[in-house]
């Protein structure tokens, strides 16, 4: 695999971009930091390269924020929070701005999808879905500013006692690299709806659509300093943001490993911390299920987003009676997959996000083979320099192997046998993660039993890997703390203040 080469003026042509907005974006010499409504150079002048994972060539040059820059971004957000330039607007006016952001995302949907595809390697239908998700999030949370309220409490007649539901202040949003546009909207839209200001740190590998979103936020008329974007590394920019005394909430999505570091960093200032972390979703197929559907969705369930989704069904538990049928069915589905350039409409699976991820996933495949699992089926990997990994199914896996216990975050599934319902529950729940679980059965009583017995934040029955903006999503066990989406995000980004007024004096 060659080292990525420097960008050039014909970058957009080399990367196959067709959208004029993407060509213009990639034609820039550099990208800057968004601080207090201005696009600024990093104080140190440091930059890093963002790579197209389909070709392993440089896509863009991005500012590398240092301590001074993060402090400046936090100061801008603090100032904007404290003077009320956003939170004191009429709720209906905040709602209007959020709707305007959704309109602009809709206008630039194709641009954003293509930019995301070039940056993270996911196919265009997938990234169009991510942009649509972002649009839906801004529209959904545009409905909230006019509906956030406190309560009056029954109390002594001489007292008037009520609560005020207030914004938290400054939200630090630290994003993962798988689906930046959706992940950023998931935090920015509700934080703004509640009247907060935000400092966003996108993942180093995939900041481009977040920078484009920054332009749209300014175009929508968001006041200066209300959203600030600092591109940079996690151990530096992310760490400073997490421990910063002027940040009131850290909303983090990423790995469980980094989640622990974030919690340690936020402990010093005891700030509210929302952690959306990794998963190892059990996908349990009972013999009474619609097997064809279960096989089709089990395949999609670990290859969607090129296998880089937190809740994908990467542990497939199959009842012994249907084991061979399921293995053959997934094998046929993998053979039909086209792994390749994610801009090509024929492609079903693109490359992994970046070089280290490619190496990591290949190491897990080697580990699975070494541990005695059988590599039952794999799709074909294309020739070329991109970070392509063929979707791979291991059978003869036991739940104690590393490929069954650790999050691989690539298109690799471990197929494990189970004997009966109790065994499926026992093995499925035997994981440090508890993000989601899927169950395939036509038995209604079993479906309800399994929904209660599985120890995970989201349960899918006869479906998999589906979220809804109005339904809370969050992990149990080491998959996270707190939850996002629906009304839960409103609670996460607000605080409750109690007011007592003595009325008879
Ligand atoms: P991570 O490696 O954990 O990185 C996530 C973010 O944290 C990145 O912006 C990263 O910055 C930053 N970071 C790294 N070290 C940090 C530190 N010491 N202090 C502060 N920030 C730090 O995750 P990833 O590889 O981007 O994303 C994949 C992971 O996210 C998977 O585990 C996946 O399951 C999880 N995920 C979970 C969900 C939900 S909703 N539960 C959704 C999507 C993804 P740099 O990358 O720039 O270094």
Other Cβ atoms within 10 Å of 42 Cβ, number = 22
Average pLDDT over residues 408-421: 98
Integer angstrom CA distances of residue 112 from 21, 204, 285, 396: 9, 18, 37, 42
User: How many angstroms is it from 468 CA to the middle of ligand 1?
Assistant: 22
How many whole angstroms separate alpha carbon 112 and alpha carbon 164? 38
pLDDT confidence tier of residue 42, bands split at 50, 70 and 90: very high
Q: At residue 8, does pLDDT exceed 50?
A: no
pLDDT over threshold 60, residue 393:
yes
CA distances from 313 to 80, 229, 301 (A): 42, 33, 5
Mean pLDDT, residues 231-256 taken together: 98
pLDDT mean over 320-327: 97
Q: Does ligand 1 come within 6 angstroms of the Cβ of 204?
A: yes
Other C-beta atoms closer than 10 Å to the C-beta of 379 total 24
What integer pLDDT is reported at residue 10 of this predicted model? 57
Mean pLDDT over residues 190-206, rounded? Answer: 98
Active site residue 310: yes
pLDDT in tens, 325-341: 999 999 999 999 999 99
pLDDT at position 265 over 80: yes
Cα–chain-centroid distance for residue 84? 29
pLDDT of residue 324: 97
Asked if residue 190 has its Cβ within 6 Å of ligand 1, the reply is no
Question: 409 pLDDT band (50/70/90 cuts)?
Answer: very high
Burial of 346 (0-12, 13-18, 19+ CB in 10 A): exposed
Q: Is 174 in the pocket of ligand 1 (CB under 6 A)?
A: yes
Mean pLDDT for the stretch of residues 159-183: 97
User: HEC string of 278-317?
Assistant: CCCCEEEECCCCCHHHHHHHHHHHHHHHHHCCCCCCCEEE
Q: Are 214 and 108 in contact (CB under 8 A)?
A: no
Catalytic residue among 276, 407, 421, 484: 276
pLDDT interval class at 382 (50, 70, 90): confident
Using the predicted structure, report yes or no on whether residue 180 has a pLDDT greater than 80: yes
Q: Which of 256, 257, 258 to mutate to test the pocket of ligand 1 (most atoms within 8 A of CB)?
A: 258
| From 194, 310, 407, 421, active-site residue | 310
- Give me the mean pLDDT over the 160-182 stretch: 97
**pLDDT tens profile 468-500:** 999 999 999 999 999 999 999 999 999 999 999
- 471 flagged as catalytic: no
pLDDT at position 74:
99
Residue whose CA lies nearest to ligand 1 atom number 38: 310
Q: What is the pLDDT of residue 2?
A: 47
Q: Pocket of ligand 1, candidates 173, 176, 431, 485: which has the most ligand atoms within 8 Å of its Cβ, to mutate?
A: 176
Query: Given this model, what pLDDT does residue 384 score?
Result: 82
Mutate to test the pocket of ligand 1, among 33, 46, 255, 309 (most ligand atoms within 8 A of CB): 255
Averaged pLDDT, 160-165: 98
Longest dimension (CA), the chain: 83
Cβ(242) – ligand 1 distance below 6 Å: yes
Q: In what order do the strands lie in the sheet with 480-481?
A: 38-40, 33-35, 227-229, 197-201, 170-174, 249-253, 272-276, 480-481
């Amino acid at each position: 695999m060659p080292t990525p080469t420097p960008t050039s003026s014909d970058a957009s042509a080399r990367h196959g971009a067709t959208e004029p907005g993407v060509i213009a974006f990639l034609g820039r010499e550099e990208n800057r930091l968004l601080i207090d409504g201005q696009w600024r150079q990093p104080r140190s002048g440091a930059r890093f390269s963002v790579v197209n994972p389909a070709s392993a060539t440089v896509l863009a040059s991005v500012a590398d924020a240092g301590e001074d820059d993060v402090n400046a971004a936090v100061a801008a957000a603090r100032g904007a929070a404290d003077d009320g330039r956003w939170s004191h607007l009429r709720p209906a006016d905040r709602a209007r701005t959020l709707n305007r952001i959704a309109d602009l995302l809709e206008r630039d949907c194709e641009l954003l999808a293509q930019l995301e595809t070039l940056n993270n390697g996911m196919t265009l239908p997938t990234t169009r879905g991510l942009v649509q998700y972002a649009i839906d999030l801004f529209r959904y949370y545009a409905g909230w500013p006019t509906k956030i309220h406190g309560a009056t409490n029954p109390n002594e007649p001489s007292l008037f006692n009520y609560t005020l539901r207030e914004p938290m202040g400054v939200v630090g949003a630290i994003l993962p690299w798988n689906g930046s546009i959706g992940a950023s909207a998931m935090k920015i839209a509700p934080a703004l709806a509640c009247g907060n200001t935000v400092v966003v740190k996108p993942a180093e590998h995939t900041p481009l659509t977040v920078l484009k979103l920054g332009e749209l936020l300014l175009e929508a008329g968001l006041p200066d300093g209300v959203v600030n974007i600092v591109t940079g590394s996690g151990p530096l920019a992310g760490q400073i943001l997490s421990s910063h005394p002027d940040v009131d909430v850290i909303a983090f999505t990423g790995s469980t490993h980094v989640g622990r570091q974030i919690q340690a960093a936020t402990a010093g200032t005891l700030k509210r911390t929302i952690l959306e972390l990794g998963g190892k979703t059990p996908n349990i197929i009972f013999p009474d299920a619609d097997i064809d559907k279960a096989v089709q969705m089990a395949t999609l369930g670990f290859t969607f987003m090129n296998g880089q989704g937190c809740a994908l069904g990467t542990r497939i538990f199959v009842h012994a009676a249907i084991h061979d049928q399921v293995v053959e069915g997934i094998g046929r589905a993998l053979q039909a997959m086209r792994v390749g350039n994610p801009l090509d409409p024929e492609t079903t699976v693109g490359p992994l996000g970046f070089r280290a991820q490619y190496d990591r996933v290949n190491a897990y495949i080697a580990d699975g083979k070494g541990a005695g699992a059988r590599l039952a089926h794999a799709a074909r990997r294309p020739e070329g320099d991109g970070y392509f990994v063929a979707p791979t199914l291991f059978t003869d896996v036991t739940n104690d192997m590393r490929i069954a216990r650790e999050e691989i975050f690539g298109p690799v599934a471990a197929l494990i046998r189970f004997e009966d319902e109790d065994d499926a529950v026992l093995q499925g729940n035997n994981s440090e993660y508890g993000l989601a679980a899927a169950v395939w059965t036509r038995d209604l009583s079993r479906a309800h039993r399994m929904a209660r017995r599985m120890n995970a934040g989201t349960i899918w029955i006869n479906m998999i890997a589906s979220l809804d903006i109005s339904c809370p999503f969050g992990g149990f066990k080491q998959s996270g703390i707190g939850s996002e989406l629906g009304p839960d995000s409103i609670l996460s980004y607000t605080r409750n203040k109690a007011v007592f007024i003595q009325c008879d004096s």
